[in-house]
A and B are shown apart, each in its own frame.
Chain A
Amino acid sequence: MSVLKTEVELLRRVSFFAGMDTTRLKLLAFTSDVITYDASQIMFRQGDVGDSAYVILEGEAEARVRLSNGNDVPVARIRTGDLVGEIAVLCDIPRTATVSAVSAVKALRIQREPFFELMHQFPEIAISIARVMAERVAQTTSDLVHVKEKLAAETAR
């Protein structure tokens, strides 16, 4: 089995790309780079300008956020098949978290330019991404409502 196929299988598991055609996924994999990281090596830093997203092919990584009081807090565990760093690719904002490898990591680096060219070329990709983003917004909104209700209940008490 060619390397490309393995990468495509993994890409398929990413919710972002789930609805995409195999050929398009292959194209995405081909135009991306495979990068290896040592354990504890930093993949990107919070506040940096970001131009690529990563799909973990092997290994595990961790996302940490530095709070305003200077403390580092782990926020997520990123496992094989997970996508990370996509927000910086989609919009022009600095990295929102620092991600570092926990074990040795092999990742597919998707750069902004080919990614946008792909979206431009195949609107179905853009639509499937828009859907995932909308779902996330819906989730975040409902979380927010939940938190607010809780907060209101606490202050009322």
Chain B
Amino acid sequence: MEDNLFRYAWRHSRRQQLWLICAVLVSLPFYYFSLDLPKAIINGPIQGTGFTAPGATHTAMQIGLQLPDWLGGASFQFFPGVQLDRVGTLVYLCMLFLALVLINGAFKLQISTYKGLLGERLLRRLRYQLVDMVLRFPLAQFRRLRSSEVATIVKDEVEPLGGFFGDAFVQPLLLVSQAATAMAFILLQSVTLGLVAAAIVAVQLLIIPRLRRKLLVLGRQRQLTARLLAGRIAEIVEGIAEVRTNDTSNWERAEIASRLGRIFFIRMDIYQWKFLVKFINNLLAQVTPFIFYLVGGYLAIVGQVDIGQLVAVIAAYKDLPTPLKELIDWDQARLDAQLRYTQVLDQFSSASLLDPELQALAPADSAPTVHELSAHEVSIRDDAGMTVLEPVSLSLTAGTATLATGAAGCGAEYLAEACARLVEPASGRVLVDGAPIQSLPDSFLARSIGYAGAQPYFGRGTLRHALLYGLYHAPDSPPDGRDATRQRNRHEARLSGNTEHDVEDDWINYTATGTSGPDDLTDRLRRVITAVELEGDIYRIGLGGRFPEAFPPEIEARLVAARDDFRAQLGADGTQRFVEPFEAERYTANATVLENLVFGLRAPDAQAVPMERDPYLDEQLEKIGLRVRLIDMGRQIATTLIELFGDLQPGNPLLERMDIISPDELPQYQALLPRFGKPGEAVPPDVAAALLKLAYAYIEPRHHLGLLDKTLEQEILAARQKFREGLPPSLTEVVFFHEPGRLNPAASIQDNILFGRIAVNVAEAPERVSAILRQTLDELGLTTAVVERGLAFEIGSGGKGLSLAQRQKISLARATLKRPDVLILNRALDALETVSQSAIIGRVMDAATRRDGQKPAVLCVVSSFEPEDRFDRVLAFSEGRLIETRERGQPARPGAEPTKEERAQARAGAA
């Protein structure tokens, strides 16, 4: 990228900038006329020059051409004009003036809009280029990169550049020409007055920017000292023990005082300069009219200028300071923008970027199949230069499975990373069918290598998106099936130098999965998630979701039937007590207090007040005297939870286990309790709401704090009655009560079929109920719908909504879905215990086939695996070395000190 901001802007917006400049130049004559016209108005119709004789008229709207003398001086007249009297001329000239005002305004509007457009395009281009560079950074670079910094640069730091791009060329041109026009105008009226004005302008242009620059320096100093002060204060707070035990508090006082003093003097300097600049500016602006009145007045009296000229000069001078001031502002913006631009470039251009060719878009079925991936004497060093893997060779060929075992950090994981090109070997080479892995395009490697690591990362999106992410290779765009909006988006993207590939297109590489289209893919997806034992998780997530909006009525009927079926099965098993049913007259212990109060749910709606804050509910509780009791209950919950969790550091995973209070809310409750902690005490509405919220979320069997007794349950049931009886119209539409014969659209699928809650503290209840529920849904053919619902689950940024084991399974499913030639599993399921890990990996290996029908080459790194003879070869690693190699059916061979011959042999075998 260009190292100079102006060069960058010029290169990518030359045509638009030229167009802008033309527009500005065209606008100038109109601007000049609008300056000139007042003189004509004052001198002509107002003062009566040329209208001395009664009945005198003036020719207006005459259109003609007068050739200069050196061209023969001929004159052509196209329109002879209209004769107007004095008032007529006044009206005509004023109308002309109004027209000029409108024209100038229109020019300004157009130019500003166009500038905005130009700036935004360039900003879009710059941001896109920055992200493009990030995508092309070598992987090693990312260890030194802080994600938040990159994000801030792309998002915030370049933002002001957008505004500047539009102004970069045209603003100085416009301002200078405006100022020059005004100056020229003044000079034409009177050379003397013009010289005076020019002198003052020169002073302004020379002095003000210098003074301002000094202000900038001071501002930066102030920022720096303030930051240091903040650091020192933090030091005092953190090291207070040292301060007290060493009696250095007085020294600290003096130290802080001296820093505050420094800031004080800097600020004083700033004030002095700031107001000095203001003073000089104002003085220059106001002294000028004084000179104009004095000198201009004198000249008018002497008759060297007429009054009209003088008024016009003063009017023109009024227009001078504004462009000048803006010009000075522009200069400052230029300095700032150039600095910003260079800083951003420094951050990004230090890296040696990958060749864009390596990431070029490739058609779905472009990659040839890989026969062998081999590592030759590969050693790896970490960032600190420590060797984490001693030289080792390895060959992965189609149909063979290799197991690498060892504790975390044994070195095998680095080998796996090197095979997937995630680290660069310090020595040795990794070859793919003889070609160095570094030279291969991403598209080729991504299609032929499936990699699943221990810490997979997921962006925001649905579960389905996360599973299919490995297939978003190239868009399948219908040739002209785009609507107007998409056409427009595409056109605009081209103008900003962005990619023209449309994210809305279908990017999925069906060929890689061996399917023909979306329907086919869903089947395959189902099989893969079943193989990695994710299907149960997704199904459970689906059960917790609600029915999709448009739910076919016949399924609704079947679901209500499912409820009875489920009950029958549950009863038949003699396990009635596993589910606590929803009954209008009974308290459901396994549901929250709020659910018990409402005996139903409010349809979720992001805009609406949540149920727990609804004034109607509050009012009902108040009426029967339950509100105070529930507030007390909330108080007890808050007290207990703060006692248990209050001294944990923010970010501690244990905090998530509070369940009722979310970790971010904890400080709020900690602040609130000392003031409103006394039982029975009246509290302000917001505190009441905060405490009620806790009480509402309470479930006795789950939280076992012993806060609910039979009397309170009875009172809640009474409130339930009241709540339902007086329900206002605003709520009848959105609150759905549990009713035996009807589905509840606001409740989860599971709640709808169970029509009750699992008794969590009865042994085996969750497992048994799930089994029966699954059976019921299977029989009704609804399981697929539930899994689909689960696949639509939003996993949250980084997949926070899922456990590590679930994330690892998704990553594994993703790696196998594309039928890779080489499957690398790098501690891919280490969140599971050995038995489950081995079972899933075994199943995945059984199911995996390549595009050419062969079995893939497999490299699996684990701590331990059972049974190991599932693999053709087992490599044992320890402390960065290969210590033992076992081929299937052959005795173990130590690998720590291979003899020369062996090494040569290995090399020959690998090559």
Contact = CB atoms under 8 A, between A and B. Distances in A.
Contacts of B702: 33
Contact of B652 (A2, A36, A121): A121
A33 B644 contact: no
Interface in B626-658: 640, 643-645, 648, 652-654, 657
B706 A4 contact: yes
Given A27-B645, A49-B836, A92-B834, A3 B761 contact: no
Given A33-B761, A36-B761, A114-B654, A7 B704 contact: yes
Contacts of A2: 640, 705-707
27 contacts: A1-B706, A2-B640, A2-B706, A3-B706, A4-B704, A4-B705, A27-B644, A27-B645, A29-B704, A30-B657, A30-B703, A30-B704, A30-B705, A31-B654, A34-B701, A35-B761, A36-B761, A38-B763, A41-B763, A41-B764, A49-B836, A92-B834, A94-B835, A117-B653, A118-B654, A121-B648, A121-B652
A114 B762 CA distance: 20
A7 B704 CA distance: 10
A35 B762 contact: yes
Interface of A: 1-4, 7, 23, 26-27, 29-31, 33-38, 41, 43, 49, 92, 94, 114, 117-118, 121
B705 A23 contact: no
Contacts of A41: 763-764
Given A114-B654, A117-B654, A43 B763 contact: yes
Contact of A34 (B644, B704, B764, B835): B704
Interface in B644-676: 644-645, 648, 652-654, 657
Contacts of A121: 648, 652, 654
A9 B706 CA distance: 15
Contacts of A117: 653-654, 657
A23 B643 contact: yes
B573 interface: no
Given A4-B704, A92-B834, A23 B644 contact: yes
B590 to A, nearest CB: 12
B833 interface: yes
A71 B595 CA distance: 50
A41 B767 CA distance: 14
Contacts of A34: 701, 704, 761
A37 B578 CA distance: 12
A70 to B, nearest CB: 23
A141 B200 CA distance: 101
A4 B761 contact: no
Contacts of A36: 761-763
Given A114-B657, A117-B653, A30 B644 contact: yes
B763 A27 contact: no
Nearest to B835: A49
Contacts of B761: 33-36
B666 to A, nearest CB: 14
B215 interface: no
B640 to A, nearest CB: 7
A33 B704 CA distance: 8
B763 A37 contact: yes
A4 B707 CA distance: 10
Interface of B: 640, 643-645, 648, 652-654, 657, 701-707, 760-764, 833-836
B646 to A, nearest CB: 9
A35 B763 contact: yes
Pairs of residues from A and B, 3 with the lowest C-beta to C-beta distance, nearest first: A3-B706, A2-B706, A37-B763
A3 B654 contact: no
A44 to B, nearest CB: 10
A21 to B, nearest CB: 11
Contact of A3 (B648, B704, B762, B833): B704
A27 B704 contact: no
B763 to A, nearest CB: 4
B833 A49 contact: yes
A38 B575 CA distance: 12
B760 A33 contact: yes
Nearest to B701: A34
Contacts of B701: 34
Contacts of B648: 121
Contacts of B652: 121
Contacts of B653: 117
A27 B760 CA distance: 20
Nearest to B760: A33
Contacts of A35: 761-763
Residue of B654, B702, B704, B705 contacting most chain A CB atoms (<10 Å): B704
| Residue with the highest number of chain A CB atoms closer than 10 Å, among B706, B763, B836 | B763
A76 B8 CA distance: 81
B840 to A, nearest CB: 13
A30 B698 CA distance: 13
Contacts of B836: 49
A24 B527 CA distance: 45
B737 to A, nearest CB: 30
A12 to B, nearest CB: 16
A1 B834 CA distance: 43
Given A4-B706, A31-B654, A26 B643 contact: yes
A41 B835 CA distance: 26
Contacts of A23: 643-644
A4 B644 CA distance: 11
Contacts of B640: 2, 4, 30
A23 B639 CA distance: 13
A108 B170 CA distance: 76
A41 B760 CA distance: 16
